[in-house]
Amino acid sequence: MPVEFVHSFLQAISAKGDGARRKSIDPARADRYARALDEWGFDYTLLGYSSDGSDPFVVASRVLARTERLKTVVALRPNITHPTVAAQALATLDQLGGGRTIVHIISGGSDAEQRRQGDYLDKSRRYARSAEYIELLRRVWTERAPFSHQGEFYRFEDFGPGSQPVSGAPLPISIGGASDDAFRVGSAHADVFTLWGEPLAETAEQIARVRALAADAGRDPGSIRFWVTFRPIVAETEELAWRRAERLVAGAAGRFIPGNGDARTNVGSVRLEQIAARGERHDRNLWIPRAIAGRGGASSLVVGTPETIADTILDYVALGADLISLPSVGDLDEAVDSGRYIIPLVRERLAAAAA
């Protein structure tokens, strides 16, 4: 399967909150953004989740109605929706969108964020719950008769048969994380394992670890796909790109609180902080600035001309990356630049190599 490209959606279309920090969505902007991603070659858009954010299921239905080929990645936390309910909602989305829905399971990297919606399980138990949750999603999508379940976290009687996705098979499920629990559960249950944009050596180690654990769990290691996230900063010259990147980081740094409580229980965030402390620039053009490392989502930047960024993406594809996320955090022009200059160049070079 060729490399595919992802863009984050909800953060991009959310309007700034008012004095009480309430958030809103501009419907016209949302439609424009979705159509732009569809037109400029992105394969997926991630509908993220936060305790104070918009409902990803509702937004996904809007995106699917406004686009022709773009797939939606619905982020889902097992603490907020019962698995039978989520399975039905996801299958319904997939049917209405003609087979364009996958799901991203968020076990929860931040204790504080989980508690905002009444979830007081520790991280290890949250990942154990995710494993049970995924098994139930797949059963709802495939069982041909009603079934009952009594597990550690969920119990019900005579459910189903449930709605099926368009393909008749379970929807693809992605899991991310950098903790031991994330690797254990993801390697055993995920179709896609998601990684932050770390340097090549660290990324290679993580991919090898997931594959080894998958083999230990009795799975084909080659059946797991890998998703890596960077924020691209592209310009006509290297110098202009780095100037843009430095301005962006200088403007963003003040919005993040170093060592905030949410980040301290997220192993992925801590890893990025540690990598940045050792050195900010890595490999061809990966920049992990100390000022924002591990805070605020995609804090790993790839900086340069389209050619340089394409070469970097190909380096990660060579390691085993199958999905590359290129979020622009609300700047539609940046998203269009990725679709106009970076995505076609990567695909062109991959096609040439294959030929």
- Euclidean distance between CA atoms 231 and 58, whole angstroms: 26
- Euclidean distance between CA atoms 245 and 333, whole angstroms: 15
> Of the candidates 243, 256, 237, which has an alpha carbon nearest to the alpha carbon of residue 299?
256
* pLDDT confidence band for 260 (50 / 70 / 90): very low
pLDDT at 52: 79
pLDDT at 15: 53
User: Are 193 and 186 contacting, i.e. CB atoms less than 8 angstroms apart?
Assistant: yes
| 293 has pLDDT over 70 | yes
Amino acid at 259: G
Structural domain spans, the chain: 4-230+306-354, 236-304
| 66 has pLDDT over 90 | yes
* pLDDT confidence band for 9 (50 / 70 / 90): confident
Q: Per-residue DSSP letters for 128-186?
A: HHHHHHHHHHHHHHH-SS-EEEE-SS-EEEEE---PPPTTSSPPPEEEE-SSHHHHHHH
pLDDT tens digits along 320-351: 999 999 998 668 899 999 999 999 999 999 99
| 16 has pLDDT over 80 | no
> Of the candidates 23, 26, 71, 72, which has an alpha carbon nearest to the alpha carbon of residue 47?
72
* pLDDT confidence band for 265 (50 / 70 / 90): low
pLDDT at 78: 94
Give the CA diameter of the chain: 63
Higher pLDDT, 251 or 177: 177
| 20 has pLDDT over 80 | no
- Euclidean distance between CA atoms 24 and 10, whole angstroms: 10
Average pLDDT of the segment spanning 134-144: 98
Q: Which two tokens stand for residue 32?
A: 């424009």
Q: List residues bridging with 228 in a β-sheet.
A: 195, 324
Average pLDDT, the chain: 91
pLDDT at 58: 94
| 256 has pLDDT over 60 | no
User: Are 221 and 325 contacting, i.e. CB atoms less than 8 angstroms apart?
Assistant: no
Cα separation values, 345 from 8, 303, 331, 342, Å: 21, 16, 21, 5
pLDDT at 288: 96
* pLDDT confidence band for 22 (50 / 70 / 90): low
* pLDDT confidence band for 19 (50 / 70 / 90): very low
Cα separation values, 100 from 41, 45, 137, 221, Å: 15, 10, 17, 25
- Euclidean distance between CA atoms 43 and 305, whole angstroms: 22
pLDDT at 296: 63
Cα separation values, 149 from 10, 139, 157, 256, 306, Å: 34, 10, 6, 43, 51
Q: Tell me the whole-structure pTM to 2 decimals.
A: 0.93
Q: Which of 8-17, 97-106, 327-336 has the highest mean pLDDT?
A: 97-106
Indicate the CATH number for domain 4-230+306-354: 3.20.20.30
> Of the candidates 110, 123, 126, which has an alpha carbon nearest to the alpha carbon of residue 294?
110
Please, where are the H alpha helices in the chain? 10-13, 27-39, 56-66, 83-96, 111-115, 123-142, 180-189, 200-216, 238-253, 261-264, 267-278, 306-319, 332-337, 343-354
Q: Identify the weakest region by mean pLDDT among 216-225, 240-249, 308-317, 330-339.
A: 330-339
pLDDT at 87: 98
Average pLDDT of the segment spanning 136-159: 97
